[in-house]
Amino acid sequence: MGNGFLIYSSVFAVVLLILSYAEQTSAEREHIDNVDRIRSAGCDLFQGSWVFDDSYPLYNSLDCPFIDKQFDCLRNGRADKQFLKYRWKPNACDLPRFNGEYFLRRFKGKKIMFVGDSLSLNQWQSLICMLHAAVPQAKYTLRKMGTLSNFTLPGYGVSVMLSRTAFLVDLVTEKIGRVLRIDSIEGGNAWKGVDMLIFNTWHWWVHKDGKQPWDYIQEGNKMYKDMDRLVAFEKGLTTWSKWVDSNIDPAIRKVFFQGISPTHYNGSEWNQPKMNCNGQTQPLNGSAYPGGSPPAVAVVKNVLSKMSNPVDLLDITTLSQLRKDGHPSIYGLDGKKGTDCSHWCLAGVPDTWNHLLYASLILTKDGQI
């Protein structure tokens, strides 16, 4: 009887495994079929509107151990939760739902790196929360060394990294003070050998009145006490574009540039003068932002259009402009001492940035990095 029971148990376990695999592959086939339909139809992922979806968010922020205090709005006391319940709906299609397990299997053995300022931190933490929620029992490692952070899921061989650099170009300390070298990238060695790079810069370029982290701007042999910030941004971004063209092989690497993330300090932009993001609980309706695009958007598109190697623009500006409700406001790092209308709550809007990143990847012809 003992041997018979063992044989029965073994057979039962195998049957369960087969059924589980069949269910998994059936769900994956349905996911792939949906992706194929969207791909064949053609769809601008970045033109659309926000729709209420009670199945959102994609994860519970209280279950994610990676969120910095500055983005952790629920733990910081934000009581309204409707802002978590909105899904981005492109005009011509539905986004393929984010499937973290599929992502991890599809990109097994790959290295992914976000490069930029605290908004890159925002997006990086969002993605690792999304992946952790997909495989909550999977072992992970999280290591930080200087400006580099590395989240790894050893079982999948996937690394999701963050390289903190506010300007992409070099910021160095010399005898005369802190110098922003807008024509130099010596810090790019850490970006080489990475399978997918998502770059971002803008917000620190506009800091003034002593709030900028530099004392001089250097171009060639010339030092400037200041410079038109949009001009400096374009020069710095052009330096970055030349670095990408010279150092990244598009046949084996994938490069994205994260579009300009908007702020919501000026309510006049959405026809609510004297208001900011504090107290906002719903997105703007429709697909257009009354305040128009930030001037940096045109600079980004112009620089990208001149590059030799293809860089995909993760064009998140307009869809994020519609989300005046998505910022930490008084539920961020400084609490009620300040209002943060620059960063984003997690869970929240950066999850959609990563959802769009995911969709952009799997909707490409071969679906590979």
DSSP per-residue letters across 129-189: HHHHHHSTTS--EEEEETTEEEEEETTTTEEEEEEE-SSSSEEEEETTEEEEETT---GGG
pLDDT tens-place values along the chain, 369 residues long? 555 544 555 555 555 545 545 555 555 555 555 566 565 557 899 999 999 999 999 999 999 999 999 999 999 999 999 999 999 999 999 999 999 999 999 999 999 999 999 999 999 999 999 999 999 999 999 999 999 999 999 999 999 999 999 999 999 999 999 999 999 999 899 999 999 999 999 999 999 888 899 999 999 999 999 999 999 999 999 999 999 999 999 999 999 999 999 999 999 999 999 999 999 999 999 999 999 999 999 999 999 999 999 999 999 999 999 999 999 999 998 777 789 999 999 999 999 999 999 999 998 755 555
Domains of the chain, residue spans: 42-362
Q: Which is catalytic among the residues 315, 340, 342, 351? A: 340
Please calculate the CA angle 122-126-127 and round it to the nearest 5 degrees: 125
Diameter over CA atoms, the chain: 89
CA–CA separation, 299 and 301 (whole Å): 6
- To the query of whether residue 340 is one of the catalytic residues in this protein, the response is yes
- To the query of whether residue 355 is one of the catalytic residues in this protein, the response is no
- To the query of whether residue 226 is one of the catalytic residues in this protein, the response is no
Q: Which is catalytic among the residues 49, 68, 80, 118? A: 118
Q: Which is catalytic among the residues 126, 343, 351, 355? A: 343
Q: What is the pTM of this model?
A: 0.90
